[in-house]
Structure 1
Amino acid sequence: MSDEQKIGALAPLVGYHLRRASAVFAVDFAAVMEGTGLRQVPFAVLSVVAANPGINQGSVGRILGIKRANMVSLINELIDRGLVDRTVDPNDRRAFSLTLTPGGDAALADALARIGVHERELLADFDDAEKAMLLDLLSRIERRNPAETDGGDD
């Protein structure tokens, strides 16, 4: 039986295949991050804060498409774990600036090493040009609809 016969009308649907591929990555991400206490969304927050020291949580949420209401609990979780510092923004006393702590730097470095192995294994059949093309194609889809996520356990 061909794949088309097995899944019928789903075979040509890009969204179906994206969801399945995303699920493979999510399961593998959870396995390689086991024991770290770091899930996909908090990892993404750490990554954005590391790339933009002093960024406010509203900007982090906009970049990642996380609803404002969910950002507070995500940031509090990272602060409680000693991974992020939150200070009053000197330019806007109503806003908070975020930076990684030394523990946050270490957690991010460990996560990136683990994820590097994870991605190399999952994309072993892709050459560098195919990986670059995949990233380009996915980013073009992402730019079409920057809908907010729920910021949950993804």
Structure 2
Amino acid sequence: MSKPREVPFETTLHVRDSCLCLHVQRAARALARRFDEALRPVGISSGQFSLLMSLNRPKPPTIGAVSSLLAMDRTTLTANLKPLERRGLVAVSVDPDDRRGRLLTLTPAGLALLARAVPIWTQSHAAVERRLPGADPEALRTALRALS
């Protein structure tokens, strides 16, 4: 059996310091924790807030449209919808134009919860933007959209 090749520790340090994926993942986790904590009083996580917000449209979106917007596979989206549906925040119905498809709708309770959550998100989001060291938040959003 051959000896495995070694990766120099300097390579580990280089990846630690320069890997965009690592830094975006770390920032995403930190932001999620911050928003999870902020949204705790209304009983939702940051991911649930994003999901509920993605349903706040003039016409109910399909599962496919929401999964695309959230960059989430349909199975994961369906799993994330279940607790919100059980709480009566989201309704899933058959698409009358395509009986195979499902439409997602915020219920009145879901809309009310979202209305309570938005001011919390607004305040938390402004605080996060103020913490960006000399950065232009819109440039950051543009760069992140280019990667997604």
Q: TM-score per shorter chain, which class? A: 0.7 to 0.9
Show the 5 A alignment for 1:39-118: 39-51=45-57, 53-118=59-124
| Corresponding position of 1:15 | 21
TM-score, with structure 2 as normaliser? 0.77
Distance across 1 between alignment mates of 2:18 and 2:79: 39
Contact 2:39 2:46 in 1 (8 A): no
Distance across 1 between alignment mates of 2:64 and 2:58: 13
TM-score, with structure 1 as normaliser? 0.74
Higher normalized contact order (CA 8 Å, seq sep 6+, divided by chain length): 1
Point out where structure 2 has 5 or more consecutive residues left out of the alignment. 1-11
Query: Which secondary structure state, in structure 1, belongs to the residue aligned with residue 55 of structure 2?
Result: helix
Q: CA deviation at 1:86?
A: 2.0
> What letter corresponds to residue 51 of structure 1 in structure 2?
R
Q: CA deviation at 1:42?
A: 2.3
Q: CA deviation at 1:125?
A: 4.5
> What letter corresponds to residue 61 of structure 1 in structure 2?
S
| Corresponding position of 1:4 | none
Q: CA deviation at 1:8?
A: 4.5
Runs of 4+ in 1 over 4 A off after TM superposition: none
- The reply to whether residue 136 of structure 1 matches residue 142 of structure 2 is yes
Q: CA deviation at 1:130?
A: 0.8
Larger Rg over CA atoms: 2
Distance across 2 between alignment mates of 1:121 and 1:63: 25
CA RMSD of aligned residues (A): 2.3
| % identity of equivalent residues | 27
Q: Kindly tell me: are residues 47 and 14 of structure 1, through their superposed partners in 2, closer, same or farther at Cα, counting changes over 3 Å? A: same
Query: Which secondary structure state, in structure 1, belongs to the residue aligned with residue 114 of structure 2?
Result: helix
Contact 1:78 1:84 in 2 (8 A): yes
Distance across 1 between alignment mates of 2:66 and 2:84: 13
Point out where structure 1 has 5 or more consecutive residues left out of the alignment. 1-6, 143-154
Show the 5 A alignment for 1:25-36: 25-36=31-42
Distance across 1 between alignment mates of 2:80 and 2:25: 24
Distance across 1 between alignment mates of 2:138 and 2:111: 27
